[in-house]
Chains A and B, each alone.
Chain A
Amino acid sequence: MKLRYLIATFILALTSIGLCQAAVQIGQPAPMFTGTSMTGKQISLKQYKDKIVVLEWTNYQCPFVKKMYDSGKMEQLKSDYTGKGVVWLTVVSSAPGKQGYVTAQQAQKIYKDDKASAVILDPSGDIGKLYNAKTTPEIFIINKKGKLVYMGAIDSIPSTKVTDVAKANNYVETALNELLAGKAIAQAQTTPYGCSVKYH
């Protein structure tokens, strides 16, 4: 056996260790997933390497989510940042029969004007559990190197009041601005607030 094969084996083994690093942690590679969008497209995190990716967990019937959408803030964030090359994936992890669950048809009506790059339907909750998403809304930001750089709440005021949205410090806006400016993200992890994700 040639030495270079041995070394190749070694490197291969090391990489697989890297893949075992599944725990969702700031600074660690974001776990890979493939999901189906509401239009039936296969969406894989792999296809967005070299791009900033935002994962947003949503449940259109959750009052915390409603606050963000009724105020127009969430859509403003989506159109602002997708305009700057950021990929915004909205994920619905509600199980069938649970609050926020939508079939592909329903989703196409409810999320018709949504500014996200894609709305991923995750009724099995696999993607949600992979990221250990606990609430709606909950945000994960992945940098161009595929590493997780932000996880947590959408903003600083846990409430369901539309009027609080303008008063709050929007963590996601701040983080994305810092990321686009090439700066380190000052607040990389916050406690998410909202409704629990309705897994089955």
Chain B
Amino acid sequence: MSALKKLVYTTLTFCIIVSTNSIKANINTNYQTVKVNPRATVSLFTNADVVKPGQTFYAVFHLQLKPGWHSYWINPGESGLAPAVNWQLPSNFTAAPIEYLPPKRLILDNFVTFVYERQADYIIPITATANAATGKYNIYANFDYLICSKDACEPESADLGFAITVGSGSQFNHKTETVERLLAQQAKSLTSSMHYQVDGKTLKLIIKPAPTLIAESKKNIKEVIFFPQQSGLIKLEQLPTTTWSDDTLTLRLARDFKLPENTIDGIVAFVMRDGQHYYYQLHARPKDKDDNTGMALTNTPHASLLWYLLLAFIGGIILNIMPCVFPILSLKAISIFEARHQHYRSNLMHGIAYTVGILVSFLIFAIIVLILKQFGHLVGWGFQMQSPTVVAILTYILFIIGLNLSGVFQFSNRFANIGQGLVTPGNYRGSFFTGVLAVVVATPCTAPFMGTAIGFAFTQPPLILTTILLALGLGMALPLLLLSIVPILRYCLPKPGHWMVTFKEFLAFPMYLSCAWLLWVLMQQTQSVNVLLILAGLVLIAFGCWLLNKSKRMTSVLGILTLIVFIIAIYPLYHLPNNTTTPSSPHKITSKTNTFNTESLQNLLAEHKPVMVNITADWCLTCKLNENTVLNTETFQQALNNTQVVFLQGDWTNRNASIFHYLQQFDRSGIPFTIIYNRQGEYRILPNILTMQNTLDMLEWADEN
């Protein structure tokens, strides 16, 4: 470049700078476009200098924030505040509300907020009215905003302005590109139908069809975030769970205290595994009740509390005939009515004491559950069986009862006697503890109806949980209570006689059977050496019980020996691991059975594969029943092989958070749980007790749809 050229160029540049500056200085006489505040610098710019009447242009408040400070989205989240603009507009201009760009979900000290960090742009469309007279206008605005850091919040304010000319043609300025870039960052609007549905404590957002871009790469979604515009609708600390059904996307959110008022607005963000973010505007209307297509199928009927109470009550009654409870109940019934003092009042009192014993036990159970829940443990029905120690203790108890029934030893009078002879007027302790014992031994026997009712209970607030458990207890106490209330009923019982001794001895065998099953559960939970120790403990228990029968007084040598034997028998309990977290042996049935995890389920559904999911556990009797009558049979396996259905089995013998959360999606916390998805991702929940015909029908349904 020659010296002359350089000189010309420099002069020219200088002239341009001077001229623009002089123009700016000229306009800037009565407003500012930039304000430097202590924590942020605010500037106001537009994308146009001249507009035609009726034309819309954009004004943008740009915040340059000091590090560590953030400003807010329209819904700030759990603290903070969105900015406010107060316009001073000439009469022939109108300003729309702020158009917010997608925010960032920021969690500070456990509070969820929706913010912009480092810089923020608040876009406002302004329209010159159709009858706006040509000429130059000055527009002023007061921009109030709150910015917060980790430690403090500060309100700041800026009085800014700009000039705009209404003319015959429009003239965009150098900020046009910036504004266009900002507009491109806005959440995309969708033409899909969007609906919401309130379902108990969850709020469902249904987008049909989901954006093609997302639907095609749903496997790469890392996280879905919903930014609700209205506050109080959903709990912000939880991210939505998503289910796909073909091209329909359903987001499930935890409801907060407010019910939606005919519309839910916000932004749905998809965060992909590669770090890409996609934002879509959500504008959902209430789901039309008549719309029976698609997702309507997937709604499990939402039964009322009363229904669950009834279920629990019936479940309680059924518990009475389970092998672990039946012996105790029948002996109690017999003992009441063979009593010499057949006063009606005395019998009634025994019945009530027994009922109270059962109810108190269930209350204590409820309290334990509530305390565990309070400490954030994931407890579902049957959780107590997830601890090997509890299983071992139950084995001991059932075994001791069995030995007592077999006549190996008698309980001393001070103890609650399971058998005969304790029914004297005024002493109701025995009846009370029989009730307690009945609940303890009932623990391993999950009756069919209880899965649903108790599963529901565990997801409910404390009072409802307690009420349902009490209904279960009441049902359990009912048969004996009825016998004591209605004297005539006792004539339906066979007359007392020698057969009763035989009957009692016979009843020991269901107890031993329960022990055998519990030992098997233990085998799945811990190493075999632990089971050996427990078995040795059982032999010692038997030895101790036999000695107990021989010794007359506890203070005798024999009595002390008995005590020592019992203490040694208890010793193996300390050796058990408190909680096994290692997955126990998977229930491999065939090569088509896979171990359940949420990710593989999502992947299979994404590939439009029909899937059947069964959640089982070794301590769940009904689950075993299902396996033996349906799932493990050749008929079922053959039918499964003839379809494309993938069978996933989850094992809940030990604690597992992912299964717990999966069940929670369906308001369940108890098992067995069997669900089947068709190729569209629509699902149906199968009854707790599977029947072959129904299960085969469901397989066919899933395969064909």
Measured CB to CB, the residues of A under 8 A from B are: 1-3, 6-7, 9-10, 13-14, 16-18, 20-23, 25-26, 61-64, 98-99, 134-135, 158-161, 189-191, 193-196, 198-199
Contact = CB atoms under 8 A, between A and B. Distances in A.
A161 B155 CA distance: 9
A92 to B, nearest CB: 15
A61 B151 CA distance: 11
A198 B257 CA distance: 24
B200 to A, nearest CB: 16
A160 B155 contact: yes
B429 interface: yes
Interface string B461-480: 11100100000000000000
Contacts of A159: 81, 84, 144
Contact of B152 (A99, A191, A194): A99
A164 B360 CA distance: 55
A21 B461 contact: yes
Contacts of B359: 10
Given A6-B432, A191-B232, A17 B154 contact: no
Nearest to B349: A3
Contacts, number: 109
Nearest to B144: A161
Contacts of B15: none
Nearest to B430: A1
A17 B465 CA distance: 10
Interface in B85-117: 108-111, 113
B432 A193 contact: no
B629 interface: no
B432 A1 contact: yes
Interface in B347-386: 349, 352-353, 356-357, 359-360, 363-364, 366-367, 370-371, 374
Contacts of B461: 21, 23, 25
A49 B196 CA distance: 43
Q: What 5 A-B pairs are tightest by C-beta distance, nearest first? A: A196-B79, A1-B429, A13-B363, A160-B155, A191-B231
Contacts of B598: none
A2 B428 contact: yes
Contact of B462 (A7, A17, A160, A194): A17
Given A25-B461, A64-B81, A196-B79, 11 more contacts: A9-B356, A17-B367, A63-B154, A64-B153, A135-B78, A160-B81, A160-B146, A193-B81, A195-B80, A196-B109, A196-B111
B374 A63 contact: no
Contacts of B463: 17-18, 21
Contacts of A135: 78-79
Given A1-B429, A22-B374, A159-B81, A195 B153 contact: yes
A158 B463 CA distance: 35
Contacts of A16: 367
Contacts of A25: 461
A131 to B, nearest CB: 14
Majority-rule SS of B interface residues: mixed
A114 B529 CA distance: 69
B360 A13 contact: yes
Contacts of B148: 195-196
A95 to B, nearest CB: 10
B264 to A, nearest CB: 15
B465 to A, nearest CB: 9
A25 B256 CA distance: 11
B105 to A, nearest CB: 15
A21 B462 contact: yes
A83 to B, nearest CB: 31
A162 to B, nearest CB: 11
B185 interface: no
B108 A196 contact: yes
Contact of A194 (B79, B257, B367): B79
Nearest to A65: B153
B427 interface: yes
B232 A190 contact: yes
Q: Which of A61, A191, A199 neighbours the largest number of chain B CB atoms within 10 Å of its CB?
A: A191
A195 B374 CA distance: 27
A20 B374 contact: yes
Contacts of B356: 3, 6-7, 9-10
Contacts of B151: 98-99, 198
A159 to B, nearest CB: 7
Interface in B314-369: 349, 352-353, 356-357, 359-360, 363-364, 366-367
A18 B352 CA distance: 23
Contact of A6 (B110, B144, B357): B357
Contacts of A23: 461-462
B353 A6 contact: yes
Nearest to A16: B367
A16 B153 CA distance: 41
A1 B155 contact: no
Q: Which of B113, B356, B427 neighbours the largest number of chain A CB atoms within 10 Å of its CB?
A: B356
A65 to B, nearest CB: 10
Contact of B79 (A7, A21, A99, A195): A195
B370 A17 contact: yes
A89 B476 CA distance: 48
Nearest to B108: A196
B363 A199 contact: no
Contacts of B81: 64, 158-160, 193
Contacts of A160: 81, 144, 146, 155
10 contacts: A3-B428, A6-B353, A7-B356, A9-B356, A13-B364, A21-B462, A158-B81, A159-B84, A196-B78, A196-B108
Contacts of B366: 17
Contacts of A64: 81, 153
A3 B155 CA distance: 66
Contacts of A17: 363, 366-367, 370, 462-463, 466
A150 B663 CA distance: 34
Interface in B139-155: 144, 146, 148, 151-155
Q: Which of B76, B349, B360 neighbours the largest number of chain A CB atoms within 10 Å of its CB?
A: B360
Nearest to A94: B151
